[in-house]
Amino acid sequence: MTGIRISVPDTAETGEVIEIRVLIQHPMESGFRRDNRGGLIPRDILTRFECTYSGKAVFVADFHPAIAANPLLSFNTVAAESGTLNFRWIDQNGAVWEDSAEIIVT
């Protein structure tokens, strides 16, 4: 159901500020829309995104319905050491989607 796309550089120099871009396929149903019978379509959104670098949190986002469908995030982090970047999305019911990327820092 869910497609995740992640863009992290494969390699970086120590101390370099790198850009990370992540996208997840999700309707982000706002809960304000109505169906063709006039009934409210229930809200179904991701509420949190977390990025950890070698186990340490480097970026966290809280989403409200104002975030567009298929939420895209672009943020930065300092390439501190070679390791794993882990990405987690959590929806309003606590369901989790995860992915990760490796980076080699020289």
Q: Which is nearer to another protein, 78 or 99 (CB)?
A: 78
Phi-psi region of 10 (alpha: psi -120 to 50; beta: other; left: phi over 0): alpha
- The nearest distance, CB 79 to another protein, in angstroms, is 8
* CA–CA–CA angle 11, 20, 84 (5° rounding): 55
Q: Which is nearer to another protein, 10 or 62 (CB)?
A: 62
Environment class of 30 (CB within 10 Å of its CB; exposed 0-12, middle 13-18, buried 19+):
middle
As a whole number of angstroms, the distance between CA 1 and CA 20 comes to 23
Q: Which is nearer to another protein, 75 or 99 (CB)?
A: 75
Binding site for another protein (CB under 8 A): 17-18, 30, 32-33, 53, 56-69, 71-78, 80
- The nearest distance, CB 91 to another protein, in angstroms, is 15
- The nearest distance, CB 66 to another protein, in angstroms, is 4
